[in-house]
Structure 1
Amino acid sequence: MYLPLRAISVFHAAARSGSISAAADELNVTPSAVSQQIQALETHLGTSLMVKVGRGVALTEAGERYFSMIAEEIDRISEATQSIRGLRPVTLLTVRATPTLSSKWLLPRLKGFLDANPDLEVRLNGTNEVTDFTRETVDVEIRHGRGQWPGLYTEGLTEELFFPVCRPDYAAPGSLTAEDLMHHRLIQSVKSQVQWPYWFSLNKLSPPNQMRRVLFDRSHMAIDAAADGIGLALESSLMMWRELRDGALVCPLRHPPRVAQTTQWVVCPVDSLRKKKVSLFLDWLKEEVKQWQAQQFIPPGMPGAK
């Protein structure tokens, strides 16, 4: 079967950089040559892989899926090629995590791990796709769910608090009651384990028959929407720690109920725990979680608040 290997490698470069021009610079070709190769690959596959967004490009759903399937193999080919050429041996640590945890929590902290481990290269794969460790070259996954995956090492990352948030100029801290929230636009991530109907039931309220809602399929989009003043979001303290720290988001409720869950789990094959690169990452991760727990924002009026 014919494989358009050149077009695949060009697509990989453009998808990784998010830019046609950056991919062209990396490959030492013109931007038009990059676009032509991507179009040829799209014709070969029979589907669109990329769309233009401003000065950059964004992957379609099919493009994201295709990139996640080929990226690790191309990285392995690159690593093997460098090794044969006698270049510095590379120890690659591949971590898979949900898009929101990757962008909102892991990425802001990753520099510390890289600085402490200069001989490691890290590939952070931000996706909700569950890893098949028998087939994929993923070292560690931080998986969203309830922690029930037999046969794998599984440990909860940390307990998270869920509470309503909004921009401070939308509603001031402590200015609203639970009943008031029913009259506002409610933002929700459809994959969140804590949904608005459940939250209202904790407050002994029945949500209105027609809630004014805006729904997203990623929590980071719900958090950003609240920070943009669209409405009130019900999200995790783990995911919105930076917005809370910087004052971009506040809890407008006077006495929010304590809703605590563990939704993120460290998962890997038991044998992988013996790998030095895995143990280094897990030790670092636990220390970062401890520091976050010590600094975690708890809304005034919630049990446990100082």
Structure 2
Amino acid sequence: MATVEQALNVARGELGYSRWTDPQAGTKYGRDYATRHGAYFGTSGVPYCAMFVTWVLRQVGMTPPGGDFAYVPSGITAARNLGRLVAKANAQAGDLVCFDWDGDGVADHVGFVERNYGSYYQTIEGNTSSGASGSQSNGGGVYRRTRNLGSVIAVIRPEYTGSASSWELEEDGIWGAHTAKRFRQVFAVPTSAPWEPTAVRALQYFLSWALDAYRLKAATGVDRIPVDGFDGPITIGAFQAWWNASGIPAGHRVPVTKTWDAETVKAMQIALNHSWAGSKALGVKP
């Protein structure tokens, strides 16, 4: 088995592929599928979204739950039989999201969830178009898209290495045990060390070089973060200012309340999900 990030990195590497510029018949994903399931799948005109997710998972030594699939409803049925369907509100990075565009109860398309933003997903999909114009399930290209949850009919969870909590926090705005554990992993703070001052001091040190003095003063009224281990309004306000300046979309910025409110905790969870263990720094992908 592989990790979520390994699978998504393969999918990201395919962004920009187009069947229209592929010099061979069919698609690279269909040709691979054909080696196991018959020559038809390697011919031109065969929709390839499901073969794309199959190909990606096979590149990291996995298959979708129940094995390869080229027809999305079949993949859903196999996953349901194995108990690998999850509620769409709980979709996480690496899950397979299945769409029903016309609301007839039959899935039309599938791709990878890259981010779950609550009311919509950021996805990587094969055989779609780059935007709202063009076919959404037979557009020919591999693109990063945003999709609202209204068109989602099913979410499939492949069996990646590790449990969900080990590779991705649930971004629920609640600072629980998993969030605290992930914070300590990222900032290399031993589990035996207290939150104040040790863990807070690690966050303050990061913010002291990651946030410029102008933004810090505008948010908190001071031009220097005291690395004193006190989890107070200056530290929290500095994190909020850093988050808002980190390149995220405008709709995901948080008010500078200088408290660990739910929006701010969710922002921290998103940042932790984009950060390497032991890096002692937070990262965000816009």
TM-score, normalised with respect to structure 2:
0.26
Which of the two has greater strand per residue? 1
TM-score, normalised with respect to structure 1:
0.25
Higher relative contact order (CA 8 A, sep 6+): 1
